[in-house]
Amino acid sequence: MAVEQVDPDHTSQRCSHTDCGFTHEDNRNGEQFRCLKCGYEINADYNGAKNVGLRYMRKRQHSLRSSPTSGSADAPVDVRVNGGMLNGDGYRSTAES
Ligand SMILES: [Zn+2]
């Protein structure tokens, strides 16, 4: 995901709802923003301002974290939760018997 480059247009099209971040041109309808993904509704300008604020905060956190001693700051983070790998019930019954 290219998160570094966010132009003003995209900030106004991006859902500022926490944990969503869905970006689509149809999200914005004039002065009103409505996320096509999560249904979040907000004033479009305020939504854009929120995104700029969030971006600023993230950059700040990033610069605070990336100290010379921590080399893993720029490592790509790709966490995938793979549910269904562990069958708790089956494992448990086998262990108890
Ligand atoms: Zn959303």
CA 27 to ligand 1 center in whole angstroms: 9
* Protein residues placing their CB within 5 Å of the ion ligand 1: 15, 17, 20, 22, 35, 37-38, 40
DSSP element (H, E) containing 41 = strand 41-43
Would you kindly state where each structural domain of the chain is located, as residue ranges? 1-63
80, 81, 96, 97 from 88: Cα distances, Å: 19, 16, 12, 14
From CA 22, how far away is CA 33, in angstroms rounded? 12
From CA 56, how far away is CA 60, in angstroms rounded? 6
CA 15 to ligand 1 center in whole angstroms: 5
Question: pLDDT for 25-70, tens place per residue?
Answer: 999 999 999 999 999 999 999 999 999 888 888 887 777 666 565 5
Does the pTM surpass 0.85? The reply is: no
